[in-house]
């Protein structure tokens, strides 16, 4: 860290204290009257009414993203810590029906004009006389899985303290 930082300079710190002339990047409101140089750089990008107050950036729970004015606007806040996926966001897939067969336990005589479709009368399955085709109705249930609960959407992280310089050298314009 330089001996005297630029006004508005943000730095990560591996310690938990806030040095003099710095503030945590926690979105707090500051009075414009007391921090005119910092307000002239930040404006109301991060909040405040621009007359009496302006806000510091709030980096709590946020990943820092470099600014590219053509695709990502300066001061943009986006993203979420948890996400609930919908069916449309899942890869295309199917669920197979799992079924079992059982031997019949009842006994019945073949109905009139019908024949046994199996070789044993114990299964009681019949087909129309003179036919070897039997319509088969398979019962089954393919249901939904999951409980539509949000899941963690955060990349691996390390928590550090982000600080912003309240006073210092005013950055020269290019």
Residue 132 lies in a domain: no
Residue 166 lies in a domain: yes
Residues in the chain: 174
Residue 113 lies in a domain: no
Residue 32 contacts residue 53 (beta carbons within 8 Å): yes
CA 122 to chain centre: 56
Q: pTM score > 0.75 for this model?
A: no
Mention every residue, 6+ apart, whose C-beta is less than 8 A from residue 20: none
Residue 166 contacts residue 7 (beta carbons within 8 Å): yes
Residue 39 lies in a domain: yes
Mention every residue, 6+ apart, whose C-beta is less than 8 A from residue 53: 29, 30, 31, 32
Give the separation between CA 153 and CA 149, rounded to whole angstroms.
12
Residue 160 lies in a domain: yes
Cα distances (Å, whole numbers) of residue 82 to 41, 85, 149: 33, 10, 10
Residue 143 lies in a domain: no
Give the separation between CA 162 and CA 23, rounded to whole angstroms.
9
Residue 42 lies in a domain: yes
Residue 30: CATH number of its domain: 3.90.1340.10
Domain holding 19, by residue range, is 1-75+153-174
The two structure tokens encoding residue 18: 């806030």
The total number of structural domains in the chain stands at: 1
For 36, which DSSP code?
A: H
List the pLDDT tens digit at each of the 174 positions of the chain: 458 999 999 999 999 999 999 999 999 999 999 999 999 999 999 999 999 999 999 999 888 888 776 778 888 888 888 888 887 877 777 777 666 665 555 555 566 666 555 555 555 455 555 555 555 566 555 666 667 778 887 788 889 999 999 999 999 988
């Amino acid at each position: 860290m330089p001996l005297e930082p630029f006004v508005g300079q943000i730095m990560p710190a591996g310690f938990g204290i806030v040095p003099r002339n710095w503030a945590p990047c926690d979105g707090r409101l500051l009075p414009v009257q007391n921090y005119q140089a910092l307000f002239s750089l930040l404006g109301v990008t991060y909040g405040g009414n621009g007359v009496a107050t302006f806000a510091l950036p709030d980096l709590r729970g946020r990943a820092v993203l470099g600014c590219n004015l053509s695709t990502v606007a300066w001061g943009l806040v986006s993203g979420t810590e948890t996400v609930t996926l919908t069916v449309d966001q899942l890869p295309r897939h199917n669920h197979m029906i799992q079924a079992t067969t059982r031997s019949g336990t009842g006994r019945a005589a073949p109905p009139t004009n019908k024949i046994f479709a199996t070789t044993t009368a114990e299964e009681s399955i019949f087909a129309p006389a003179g036919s070897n085709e039997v319509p088969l109705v398979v019962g089954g249930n393919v249901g939904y899985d999951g409980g539509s609960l949000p899941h963690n959407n955060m990349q691996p992280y390390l928590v550090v303290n982000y600080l912003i310089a309240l006073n210092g050298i005013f950055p020269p314009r290019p």
